[in-house]
Structure 1
């Protein structure tokens, strides 16, 4: 088994176990918020923390020399050159309210200095849908043990794009983003705000959305889903370079130039 296959297998094993833990621990109704991060609307629950602890323990027990970067806990420095980037529940607000779009997202970088994921795994906790990718090896959705290769959406003109987006948690930034999206909206088919960046990214890879744009993504939001989108044949980039916190865009190569210019013109 290649190193990438081994890493992806470990990510899938830990991700499925964490997803089951989250489903088991989630009470009926709304989930209590125990803390906030960037703003009062940026929620953390005890179940987020439990999910991350489980993933960290499973990965570092199997590979004790690896590094680990998680959204909810302290980073672990490694010596192996492999670094894991984990979001234990991407879409925490959906999780709190019981909306069925929240995911475990796990990526691994085999050259941590390059910051480019080598494998990515995303599972929708609420539905069980699983997605994976290996750098240079394609992207797929699992159906049991079978893999369906992902190729992104069909060719679609700019005016007919269904575009996913998201918004920051602080009010002034959210207001600016809303103004930019209002300028974008008349130029495309419509906007979707699902509430999980990882699920947005894999939905474009699966052809369920046509494109994506969002500001403010952290590494754990982007790493796994971004690799899956790229390996499905899409361009994943920013305004003038790689995708990142300033801006992340995803679109087919044949519409990338036109789409990225429109996003820029709208002020995102």
Structure 2
């Protein structure tokens, strides 16, 4: 990427946020229309890493709306080829976060949409939208403008004692990844109040922002898994940092405590 920071166009965050919500809404409708067909179209990295008709329908709905509304922007997306930006903006999208849940009929899936600007040589999320497809909840964040669940402002829980905290984590697809992540969990689980694994990292982050979870970590993620959720957590008063190839998120106090535990695991 060789875009100069000066190439960032004047874009109203409110307009970008509105488009992000429309993208998520169209994608959610496409997923819901495919709920009867949960079998894989194909698998990717392992036999449990599915792509379904719903993933592809959601991806197509997002691409069609972006092509109509902002055809010069870039696209970084889990399914299909990316689009290089002719502007200083790109959309970072997970069309269906929680595909394994979807395949098994577990009603906990989401669409994650972030709009990132190329500022100072770094891609930075300016708006983030995550739609809980089943519950119809819409989590949003605007850099410098706070985070919301539907029309209600949200905040992380802080402070919360480590021993009473509810922490989420997720697991990679390969056996080697799961062995490494299990080692970390053995250290974390006895120190916290309880642990959850919901199957959607985007919703884990949003639930941290809304105070439903106190913390979340995962060491193996793609950018589309966390770009929107990271902004939503940060704008809700939380701290998000890199953790391996993933992220660690929580209120400031709990983030420090979890970072100490996870650092020890190597």
TM-score exceeds 0.5: yes
SS in 1 for 2:40: coil
- Whether the aligned pair in 1 keeps the contact of 2:112 and 2:228 (CA below 8 Å) is yes
Aligned counterpart, 2:135: 127
Alignment of 1:251-266 (within 5 A): 251-266=250-265
Q: Does 1:141 align with 2:149?
A: yes
- Whether the aligned pair in 2 keeps the contact of 1:184 and 1:266 (CA below 8 Å) is no
**Structure 2 unpaired stretches of 5+:** 1-9
Q: CA deviation at 1:31?
A: 0.9
- Whether the aligned pair in 1 keeps the contact of 2:248 and 2:255 (CA below 8 Å) is no
Match of 1:99 among 81, 86, 106: 106
**Structure 1 unpaired stretches of 5+:** 240-244
In structure 1, distance between residues paired with 2:102 and 2:130:
16
Q: How high is the TM-score relative to the length of structure 1?
A: 0.92
Q: How high is the TM-score relative to the length of structure 2?
A: 0.92
In structure 2, distance between residues paired with 1:202 and 1:213:
13
- Give the aligned length: 256
In structure 1, distance between residues paired with 2:11 and 2:78:
28
Q: CA deviation at 1:18?
A: 1.3
- Whether the aligned pair in 1 keeps the contact of 2:214 and 2:254 (CA below 8 Å) is no
In structure 2, distance between residues paired with 1:207 and 1:119:
20
Q: Does 1:79 align with 2:86?
A: yes
- Whether the aligned pair in 1 keeps the contact of 2:215 and 2:254 (CA below 8 Å) is no
In structure 1, distance between residues paired with 2:132 and 2:105:
13
In structure 1, distance between residues paired with 2:245 and 2:71:
33
Match of 1:37 among 30, 39, 44: 44
In structure 1, distance between residues paired with 2:238 and 2:158:
11
- Whether the aligned pair in 2 keeps the contact of 1:181 and 1:266 (CA below 8 Å) is no
In structure 1, distance between residues paired with 2:32 and 2:254:
39
SS in 1 for 2:221: coil
Q: Does 1:10 align with 2:14?
A: no
Alignment RMSD? 1.5
By percentage of residues, which structure has more strand? 2
CA-to-aligned-CA distance 1:48-104 (integer Å, 9 cap, x gap): 011111101101210111001110010011211110000000000001111111001
Match of 2:190 among 186, 189, 192: 186
Q: CA deviation at 1:43?
A: 0.7
CA-to-aligned-CA distance 1:2-36 (integer Å, 9 cap, x gap): 61111110110121121112112210xx7111111
Q: Does 1:229 align with 2:233?
A: yes
SS in 1 for 2:128: strand
- Whether the aligned pair in 2 keeps the contact of 1:8 and 1:120 (CA below 8 Å) is yes
Aligned counterpart, 1:242: none
Q: CA deviation at 1:154?
A: 4.0
SS in 2 for 1:116: strand
Match of 2:221 among 217, 223, 234: 217
